[in-house]
Amino acid sequence: MKGYPESVSRLIDAFARLPGIGRRSAERLAFHVLRESSQEAMSLAQAITDAKTRIVHCPTCWNICDDLHCEICSDPRREASIVLVVEQPKDVLAIEKTGSFRGIYHVLLGRLDPLAGVGPEGIVLEPLLARIDDPSKNAQQVKIEELVLGMNPDLEGDTTALWIAREATKRGVRVTRLARGLASGSQLDLANPGVIADAIAGRTGI
Ligand SMILES: [Zn+2]
C-alpha cells in the first residue's frame, strides 16, 4: 500500500489546512470521523455546509448573521453614530455579553499583518472608510461621530489601530480606544465581561 486511500488523504488534507492543526492531529481527526457512525459524520458535514451557505455578512458592519437582517444594525435603539471596530465576530459576541455598549460595530475580519503579507486590502477597511464618508452606508443612515478601536492589544492590533486612527482623523471623526484594562497581548474574546465593560467606559482619545 503506497499510502492512504484517496478519499482518506483528502480528508486528512482538509483537516490539516485548519488553523492550529498539524499533520498528526489531522490524521487523528480523520480516523475519528471514520470510526464515528455515519449519522454523526454526516451531521458534522451538514453543520459545515449550513454554516457556509446560511451565514452571511451584514453589508453594513460585516458581522455574521443568519440572513441579511443584522439585529444590531437594524435596532433603532442602538446609537449608530458610535462605531466600535473589532477584528472578529467573536469579539462582538464578547462585548455584547457585557451589555455595556449601546453603539454599533464594524468587523474587520482580520487585522493588518505586514509580516504575513496582510495589507489594508486584505481586511474589511475600505467599507469602514465608506461608512465614514457616506452616512447612507451606515446603519440608520446616521453620520459616524466616534470610532472606538477595539483591536487586540498586541503588535498587529496596534498597527491596525494606528492605520484606522490616521484615516479617521483625516476625515474629522473622533477616535477613541478601549482602555487598557485589557492586559497587553490578551485577547478580547477571552477577557472577562467586567474587564471589557471597564475598557468601554474608560475609553480614551487617541
Ligand atoms: Zn450589521
Ligand 1 midpoint to CA 90 (Å): 14
* Residue 82 alpha carbon to ligand 1 centre in Å: 13
**Grid coordinates in use for 105?**
460595530
**Distance from the alpha carbon of residue 46 to the mean position of ligand 1, in angstroms:** 26
The pLDDT of 85-113, averaged and rounded, is 95
User: Ligand 1 center to residue 60 CA distance, Å?
Assistant: 5
What is the spatial distance between Cα 48 and Cα 170, in angstroms, rounded to a whole number? Answer: 42
Split at pLDDT 50, 70, 90, the class of 30 is very high
* pLDDT value for 5: 95
- Rounded to the nearest angstrom, the distance between the alpha carbon of 92 and the centre of ligand 1 is 11
pLDDT of residue 181: 59
pLDDT of residue 179: 75
What the chain holds in terms of domains, given with CATH numbers, is: 6-54 (1.10.8.420), 77-205 (3.40.1360.10)
Q: What is the pLDDT of residue 199?
A: 78
Q: Report, as an integer, the average pLDDT of 180-202.
A: 71
User: Is the confidence at residue 180, as pLDDT, over 90?
Assistant: no
| Spacing of C-alpha 76 from chain mean position | 23
Task: State the pLDDT at residue 200.
Answer: 80
Rg (CA), the chain: 20
Q: How far does the centroid of ligand 1 lie from the alpha carbon of residue 150, in Å?
A: 16
Q: Is pLDDT of 202 > 90?
A: no
**Helix, strand or coil, per DSSP, at residue 80:** strand
Interval 122-170: pLDDT, tens: 999 999 999 999 999 999 999 999 999 999 888 999 999 999 999 999 9
What is the Cα 68 distance to its own chain's centre?
17
Q: How far is the CA of 163 from the centre of ligand 1 (A)?
A: 22
pLDDT reported for residue 19: 86
Q: pTM above the 0.75 mark?
A: yes
If you measure from the C-alpha of residue 69 to the centroid of ligand 1, how many angstroms do you get, rounded to a whole number?
Answer: 8
Amino acid 6: pLDDT: 96
